[in-house]
Amino acid sequence: MKKSQMGLDFTEGTGQERKEVGMSLAASAAPNALTVARGYALEHCMRNGQVTIDDVTAALIKDGVELGNYLGSVFKGKRWKCIGFTKSKRPERHSGLIRIWTIVPGFKKGK
């Protein structure tokens, strides 16, 4: 049985279930940073009609917020809809594909 550094067993469950557990752990480890990142995403999208994780990380870096695995949970939830893909402009991402997100029609801020 393989355990994580936190003593959790990641050998049980489907790949999707393991992903969900990992994302939840990362999000719970940095709840304030995740809230700030989601705020940046929402503001950027409301101004520009779309947002990527590159937009969010640029704002976080500018404000001195530490990046982390919690960023994988920024667009989790029903308020976001993927509308396409683009290449990341961050050098460390090596032009990897990232999603372009928009707010689901009818979403109201604060929901």
Query: Higher model confidence: residue 23 or residue 85?
Result: 85
Quick check: pTM over 0.75? no
- When pLDDT is cut at 50, 70 and 90, the band that residue 1 belongs to is very low
The per-residue pLDDT for 26 is 44
- CA 51 distance to own-chain centroid: 11
Question: Domain limits of the chain?
Answer: 15-103
Choose between 26 and 97: higher pLDDT.
Answer: 97
CATH class of segment(s) 15-103: mainly alpha
Judge whether residue 107 has pLDDT over 60: yes
User: What mean pLDDT, rounded, does the chain reach?
Assistant: 82
Indicate if the pLDDT at residue 72 is higher than 80: yes
The C-alpha atoms of residue 67 and residue 33 are separated, in whole angstroms, by 8
State the Cα torsion 24-37-96-9 to the nearest 10°. -10
Q: Is the pLDDT assigned to residue 82 strictly greater than 90?
A: yes
> Residue 21 has what pLDDT?
57
